[in-house]
Structure 1
């Protein structure tokens, strides 16, 4: 009887302790509060402890307004609408994620977790090759020829990040599952694309001294030789034509003289689409003063020791010209790049519909101003005044120009030598296009220049630039073929 009474008293005491625990009152008034902070407040008021596993509760925020509420009622209100459930064991509250219901599982099967969209440039044209990625995530894709992309398994709260070299990086929330993203050109000079010896980079990440001249800048220069388009564009680079002819040789010097010998030219190394330009000076006519001698046609020198080899390249077919000036930029070329390196990159096809571009131009060359020199009348007057001031009588011996020559004639040799009007004619055609795997470009061109110092004849050049690029086996095998055919006629 005594044992039964003791057991009954202990049971009643436990029930009273349990009742007193559940009967504790909770008062909380917080808005947009982090769930873990709400748990801490309850722990301090009741003595209960919260436990959870593999669940990040710091991102969950709730609005709580409780006043003298029992623990059970407080927990029901806090967990209402949350993807969580709880259970109370002694003085511990276990928090777990809710198990998905059958309806939730069916909905997840049909839920679209992919993000699709299209990326366009500043003009609204599709931008192939742009990088689309989930910020702080692993999903990544490259836009196709139509600027379209697909990202797999993208969370609803993800941020989509789109980048392309030369454009400002843009971030957009995934929101709806189809996105139309328009990139804007970067106004910063640091984001301009530069071609290096071993790839491409931007000026922001370039460590060498490289100057880039773009196709737009070249197109504004009415020149037949692409080297003349660099005049005044590259700091530390001196360009001096040896003749007045469009096909004549040109002396190029980067960062001053590099040799004391007068027999060695200071010309840099030219790289055209990755291929070094090499031509041999079999006549020994190169020098520091005039640079390397040009190409000889028909076994005879033209004025200026031959034709410039770069006269054969159509400026309209050039995508960019990079001038590498310091040791860091030219190190890969060794001693051949001691005088600097000039990289010439021709245009290649871009993915998209086939485009046909035609450019026909006609221009004239003329000297608009001449040196202000004495004519025959002024010269004779000056000479006679000089003899008078010295008290000397002009004779046939001391003044044949006054006695024997015809002082009534006058010839303006400036107009006789370069007073003609030269003509420049250029015809360029470009056909390019392709798909995501294969791109092509065909660029025929013709140019004819009549110099102001010639009475007849002209410098003519016909050329054809062709390129095709292909990527196969999931872009693991890439092949490029480029060809430059030309024919020049110097008369």
Structure 2
């Protein structure tokens, strides 16, 4: 016979010929305590415990101790997933004894069983998985070992270290079979030839930027480039037809990558000088030498030399040359997630040449976005660039050559002199004449101040 009375101190439960005494407080605790359940059948009293969710937090780092933002932290077998913040920290609620899986691009996945410790710090190891080197061929990619055409790849990590005024100039010395010629003047475009000259006409290669045929002149910011592939022969560039007769240069600009927003700022300032020039005579030395030469030849000494009083002593090399400088500033923000990626970048470049009155400026802005939905990708590559090139008039015989004129000009001739002001010469610029001092050179300082050619280009 079974007796049940919850008001008694003990609960008597008879099984066969034996009696079990269960303390009432234990029974009551099983009934009213959350996370437990009690059930009674004919022969036994069973007490079950439910697993409660617990809060786990911690920090994810790499082998060097640097925190890793954007690491995926999920429960093995499906469930909640979180991502580490900018400081590599995470917090997730999981069932007791669950297994956490940590995944990050470029690192080996790691599994950790949740125990009693609510704090789990994880160190991920770099993944050294080898990847096949691929080359872009027209509208497709191919493994390098399967490629039969002649191609070349440019390491953009090397080009970013160079102070290059334009994208073609950045290719100099980066891959075999590609020659780059550049005069070095601010804003001057470089001439690129692949495997030498194949025609007496235009021998420039075809440029393709992000799949679009374009002109990579000085308006393109080299800092926006992520990858450069060069197709050198007909078999590699066949897809572009006759326009690829001089080779093809494929350029891919930078794009965003999945993960938290990444801000990048790069600044560069450099100076340029002519390392060595000729040691030129000063005015007194020139006057003495010129006098002896005319006397030895039996000719009358020039009036400007004979009347030299020491007042004028022009250093034409110093007047024509200066210390040049290059300023290069770039900033970008990129990131993405849930199938979308973005990159926004801007840059400013200014090149002040070593010759006076020669400058080049460029301002650029780029937006690259991409969204993936199933098998479809949507996005745009928007680029805006504005550049200004300034230099004196260079055409015709009257412009002269500054590199010749600075070394052949006479130091007895002033750059400017009030005594030379006239209706034909309101600036009083110095010049040579048979009536004063003969010279076959031009006043390059006057040309730089009187004439100016400014080219503006925007796209």
TM-score (norm 1): 0.50
Distance 1:175 1:207 in 2: 47
1:429 maps to: 331
1:216, distance to aligned residue in structure 2 (A) = 1.4
1:426, distance to aligned residue in structure 2 (A) = 2.1
Q: Is residue 237–residue 254 contact of structure 1 (8 Å, CA) maintained in 2?
A: yes
1:213 maps to: 154
> 1:256 pairs with 192, 196, 214, which one?
196
Does 2:366 align with 1:465? yes
Does 2:212 align with 1:271? no
Alpha carbon RMSD of aligned pairs, Å? 4.6
Distance 1:379 1:341 in 2: 55
Does 2:342 align with 1:440? yes
> 2:244 pairs with 337, 346, 353, which one?
337
2:126 maps to: 182
Segments of 5+ residues of structure 1 without an aligned counterpart are: 1-117, 129-143, 147-161, 279-308
Distance 2:70 2:63 in 1: 6
1:265, distance to aligned residue in structure 2 (A) = 2.0
Distance 1:452 1:209 in 2: 39
Distance 2:161 2:230 in 1: 19
Paired residues for 1:393-412 under 5 Å = 393-396=296-299
> 2:322 pairs with 403, 411, 420, which one?
420
Does 2:300 align with 1:363? no
1:410, distance to aligned residue in structure 2 (A) = 7.1
Secondary structure at the aligned position of 1:223 is classed as coil
1:209, distance to aligned residue in structure 2 (A) = 2.1
Distance 1:466 1:351 in 2: 16
- 1:35-76 CA distance string (max 9 Å, x none): xxxxxxxxxxxxxxxxxxxxxxxxxxxxxxxxxxxxxxxxxx
Distance 1:179 1:436 in 2: 25
1:228, distance to aligned residue in structure 2 (A) = 1.6
1:330, distance to aligned residue in structure 2 (A) = 1.3
Distance 2:83 2:222 in 1: 27
1:361, distance to aligned residue in structure 2 (A) = 2.4
1:115 maps to: none
1:430, distance to aligned residue in structure 2 (A) = 0.7
Segments of 5+ residues of structure 2 without an aligned counterpart are: 1-59, 72-81, 85-102, 114-121, 391-459
Distance 1:376 1:211 in 2: 56
Q: Is residue 273–residue 344 contact of structure 1 (8 Å, CA) maintained in 2?
A: yes
Q: Is residue 193–residue 202 contact of structure 1 (8 Å, CA) maintained in 2?
A: yes
Between structures 1 and 2, the one with greater helix share: 1
Q: Is residue 380–residue 407 contact of structure 1 (8 Å, CA) maintained in 2?
A: no
- 1:405-432 CA distance string (max 9 Å, x none): 9799876554443x31122222211110
Distance 1:199 1:182 in 2: 30
TM-score (norm 2): 0.53
How many residue pairs get aligned? The number is 295
2:425 maps to: none
2:174 maps to: 233
Paired residues for 1:296-307 under 5 Å = none
Secondary structure at the aligned position of 1:312 is classed as coil
Distance 1:472 1:322 in 2: 29
Does 2:352 align with 1:450? yes
**CA 1:478 to 1:218, structure 2 compared with 1: closer, same or farther past 3 Å?**
same
> 2:136 pairs with 186, 189, 195, which one?
195
> 1:482 pairs with 378, 381, 386, which one?
381
Secondary structure at the aligned position of 2:173 is classed as coil
**CA 1:384 to 1:229, structure 2 compared with 1: closer, same or farther past 3 Å?**
same
Q: Is residue 69–residue 260 contact of structure 2 (8 Å, CA) maintained in 1?
A: no
**CA 1:220 to 1:180, structure 2 compared with 1: closer, same or farther past 3 Å?**
closer
**CA 1:382 to 1:317, structure 2 compared with 1: closer, same or farther past 3 Å?**
same
Distance 1:452 1:276 in 2: 34
1:221, distance to aligned residue in structure 2 (A) = 0.4
1:356, distance to aligned residue in structure 2 (A) = 1.0
1:253, distance to aligned residue in structure 2 (A) = 1.4
